[in-house]
Structure 1
Amino acid sequence: MEKHADTNDVTTTIIKPIIPLPPSKFPLSFFEATVASTVALGFIIGLLGVYLTMPDSDYSFLKLPRTLHDLQLLRDNLESYTSDYTAQVLVGYCLVYIFMQTFMIPGTVFMSLLAGALFGVFKGVALVVFTATAGASSCFFLSKFIGRPLLFSLWPDKLKFFQTQVAKRRKSLLNYMLFLRLTPTLPNTFINFASPIVDVPYHIFFLGTVIGLIPAAYVTVRAGLALGELQSVGDLYDFNSIATLFFIGIISVTPTLMGKKDS
């Protein structure tokens, strides 16, 4: 008599392996480099258009802030333009923030602080969540074209870990993405770039980003109101802020953990 395996009570997580590309000196092909260059050129043209609509003045203060001193100088100079040239300042801010997110340029925390200093808490949080989500989405779609070779060159082990975790939590993926956004388990820049490679659906990525960024955006934007009192970026997150973010993150991932326990 022929035997048949009973698979009714067996749940198997199938992880589709990500096949690495052959190593090369420069990880991007000509087409991929052209796509990235075209996107960067689009941002540059947009920023040039904003610059040309501003009044003649000394804009030597316009640079990406790398320290709190740079940020305070930028805030002091932009305050005089924000009321009279609100549209230009907003468009310029959005383009810079989205550009930084798209190409994983560090320093967006300074841009979040600047939003609070220039626009207040409510408008600042709305602006940061919008630009951060738009930038993360831009990075997500750009990664579809150029992400795979860069990820295998830069973070092969981290990519494998992320793929495994996503595959295990496929049924509660939104909760897992919320957990990642709320806690420093993986860098946000890596999540943005790696999500399409490990088959995170965009609607899950989008919802996890929009909702998950709100608490941290609020903490950072609120700190921007007292920019002159900050001594370092580390002052942004006191024990209560970090504990709150972790608590929210644990709550978001609880359904995933309970599902594992019941299965």
Structure 2
Amino acid sequence: MPAPRSVTAVDTGRLLRDLENNGEDDSPASKKPKSDRFPLNSCEFAAAVAVFFLFALGLFYIYLTMPASEFGRIKLPRTLADLRLLKENLSAYASNHPAPFILGYCSTYIFMQTFMIPGTIFMSLLAGALFGVVRGILLVIFNATAGASSCFFLSKLIGRPLVSWLWPEKLRFFQAEIAKRRDRLLNYMLFLRITPTLPNLFINLASPIVDVPFHIFFLATLIGLIPASYITVRAGLALGDLKSLKDLYDFKTFSVLFLIGFVAICPTLLKRKRVYE
């Protein structure tokens, strides 16, 4: 009859580790870095897909109301050459049918902004090229604010694991800065919107996660995007002379934006100075 196996020190150590890990496997295969795992669970992923297809279905229905000749010439611009061609194709339709065109334009812009599809800067240039400065700025501000708000609520629904997965360090930094400026949060959010300190995409996604109230987010977006929108829409007036997107934001432009942003955040800095005195 074989003798009963004694519990060795190794077995005891393994047992203690198992108890501490609540029965989870601590083998190298189980220690896969979080960055290699898709952050959304099946329910969150299904919700994101459902919202995307609902938006896409509405957008497709709007496009179907356009004449077949115009529908076939629509293409999301990816280069300035694409944008110039799109402007030529849609100029007559935008002039003859302004209401359907604006509906399609706004729907496309908001869809792209909601689901983080690159290219909204081309849409802003197109607004300037087709509608001029005043109407172009109004269109861009409306769409950028509506799209950012839609992205805010989408992130509130499923964004936390995604943002924590993509930008963990940046999210911690943003959360710490928001916590320090709770009493002057609108000024800080205006500073972020006016200046290129943080990407607008990250601000849209991270704001609900770090508990930025929606009314603060909305006002900061509505007001803070005006300077950059003005620059882009004005550039759209001279679309034929624009050689590169880099021409939009030179050193002088960045300096002006940071100056405006400094004015916006100045009350926060002055209050902090009084506190430390």
- Whether TM-score is above 0.5 comes out as yes
Amino acid paired to 2:63: Y
Q: Secondary structure at the match of 2:69?
A: coil
Which one is further off, 232-241 or 56-65? Answer: 56-65
Contact preservation (8 Å) 1:61, 1:73: no
Aligned to 1:169: 181
CA distance, structure 2, for counterparts of residue 49 and residue 104 of structure 1: 21
**Is the alpha carbon distance of 1:58 and 1:81 closer, same or farther for their aligned partners in structure 2, counting shifts above 3 Å?**
closer
CA distance, structure 1, for counterparts of residue 203 and residue 158 of structure 2: 15
Structure 1 stretches of 4+ with a deviation exceeding 4 A read none
Deviation, structure 1 residue 204: 0.4
Matching of residues 130-169 of structure 1 within 5 Å: 130-169=142-181
Matching of residues 1-263 of structure 1 within 5 Å: 23=34, 25-57=37-69, 59-263=71-275
| Alpha-carbon RMSD | 1.4
Contact preservation (8 Å) 1:112, 1:221: yes
**Is the alpha carbon distance of 1:255 and 1:96 closer, same or farther for their aligned partners in structure 2, counting shifts above 3 Å?**
same
Q: Whose helix fraction is larger, Structure 1's or Structure 2's?
A: 2
Which one is further off, 237-246 or 214-223? Answer: 237-246
Deviation, structure 1 residue 187: 0.2
Which one is further off, 199-208 or 237-246? Answer: 237-246
TM-score by length of 2: 0.84
Provide Cα deviations, 1:219-246, integer angstroms capped at 9, x if missing partner.
1001001000000001112333222111
**Is the alpha carbon distance of 1:69 and 1:122 closer, same or farther for their aligned partners in structure 2, counting shifts above 3 Å?**
same
CA distance, structure 2, for counterparts of residue 60 and residue 243 of structure 1: 42
Contact preservation (8 Å) 1:173, 1:204: yes
CA distance, structure 2, for counterparts of residue 146 and residue 64 of structure 1: 27
Amino acid paired to 2:116: M
Show structure 1 runs of 5+ residues with no match.
Answer: 1-21
Amino acid paired to 2:87: R
* Count of residue pairs the alignment pairs up: 242
Amino acid paired to 1:132: A
Greater radius of gyration (CA) = 2
Show structure 2 runs of 5+ residues with no match.
Answer: 1-32
Contact preservation (8 Å) 2:70, 2:90: no
Contact preservation (8 Å) 1:54, 1:85: no
Contact preservation (8 Å) 2:188, 2:265: yes
CA distance, structure 2, for counterparts of residue 59 and residue 69 of structure 1: 19
Q: 1 or 2 for the larger relative contact order (CA 8 Å, sep ≥6)?
A: 1
CA distance, structure 2, for counterparts of residue 200 and residue 31 of structure 1: 25
CA distance, structure 2, for counterparts of residue 29 and residue 45 of structure 1: 24
Amino acid paired to 1:104: M
Contact preservation (8 Å) 2:141, 2:226: yes
- What's the % identity of the aligned pairs? 64
CA distance, structure 1, for counterparts of residue 211 and residue 139 of structure 2: 28
Amino acid paired to 1:205: F
Amino acid paired to 2:221: T
Deviation, structure 1 residue 38: 1.9
TM-score by length of 1: 0.88
Aligned to 2:20: none
Q: Secondary structure at the match of 2:254?
A: helix
Deviation, structure 1 residue 61: 3.5
Deviation, structure 1 residue 58: 5.8
